[in-house]
Chain A
Amino acid sequence: MSILVNSETRLLVQGITGSEGTYHSKRMLEYGTKIVAGVTPNKGGTNYLGIPVYNTVSEAVTETSANVSIIYVPAPFAADAILESAYAGIPLVVCITEGIPALEMMRVHASMPEGVRLIGPNCPGVITPSTKTKVGIMPGHIHLPGRVGVISRSGTLTYEIVKALTDAKLGQSTAIGIGGDPLPGTNFIDCLELFRNDDETDAVAIIGEIGGSDEEKAAEYVAKGYSKPVIGFIAGQSAPPGKRMGHAGAIISGGKGTAEEKKNAFRAAGIKVADLPSEVVPLLKESLR
Chain B
Amino acid sequence: MKIHEYQAKQLLASYGAPIPLGDVADTPAEVLKVWNRIGKGRVAVKAQIHAGGRGKGGGIKLAETEDEVLSSAKKIIGMNLVTHQTGPEGIKVRKVLVEEALEVKSEFYAGITLDRSSRSPVLMVSKFGGMEIEEVAAREPDSIVKMKIHPLSGLFQFQARELGYRLGLIGKPLQSAVRIFTAISKLFVEKDASLIEINPLFHLKDDRIVAGDAKIGFDDSALYKHEDIEALRDEFEEEPAEREARKANLSYVKLDGNIGCMVNGAGLAMATLDILKHFGGTPANFLDIGGGAKRERVKDALKIILTDKNVKAIFINIFGGIVRCDEVAHGVISAKKELGISVPITIRLTGTNEKEGRSMLESEGFATGVSLDEAAQKAVRSAA
Contact = CB atoms under 8 A, between A and B. Distances in A.
Is B one of A's binding partners?
Answer: yes
B268 A157 contact: yes
B339 interface: no
A109 interface: yes
Given A110-B150, A156-B291, A237-B274, A246 B266 contact: yes
B274 A152 contact: no
Nearest to A142: B321
B253 A243 contact: yes
Contacts of B283: 238
Interface of B: 113-114, 116-117, 119-121, 133-134, 137, 150-152, 189, 192, 194, 219-222, 224-225, 251, 253, 255, 263-271, 273-278, 283, 286, 288, 291, 319, 321-322, 350-352, 371-373
Contact of B221 (A101, A250, A259): A101
A102 interface: yes
Interface string A157-184: 1111001000000000000000010110
Contact of A156 (B113, B133, B319): B319
Contacts of A138: 321
- Give 3 nearest A-B pairs by CB, closest first: A154-B267, A246-B266, A156-B265
Contacts of A76: 224-225
Contacts of A117: none
Which of the listed residues B117, B151, B255 has the most CB atoms from chain A within 10 Å of its own CB? B151
A16 interface: no
Contacts of B286: 239, 243, 245-246
Given A102-B221, A152-B267, A159-B319, 13 more contacts: A106-B151, A153-B267, A155-B265, A156-B321, A159-B321, A239-B253, A239-B273, A245-B269, A250-B266, A253-B113, A254-B133, A275-B278, A277-B372
B291 A245 contact: no
B330 to A, nearest CB: 20
Interface of A: 27, 75-76, 99-107, 109-111, 137-139, 141-142, 152-160, 163, 180, 182-183, 207, 209-210, 212-214, 233, 235-240, 243-250, 253-255, 259, 275-278
7 contacts: A101-B221, A103-B219, A154-B268, A209-B270, A240-B255, A246-B265, A278-B371
Contact of B134 (A214, A254, A259): A254
Which of the listed residues B222, B271, B288, B350 has the most CB atoms from chain A within 10 Å of its own CB? B271
Nearest to B371: A278
A152 to B, nearest CB: 7
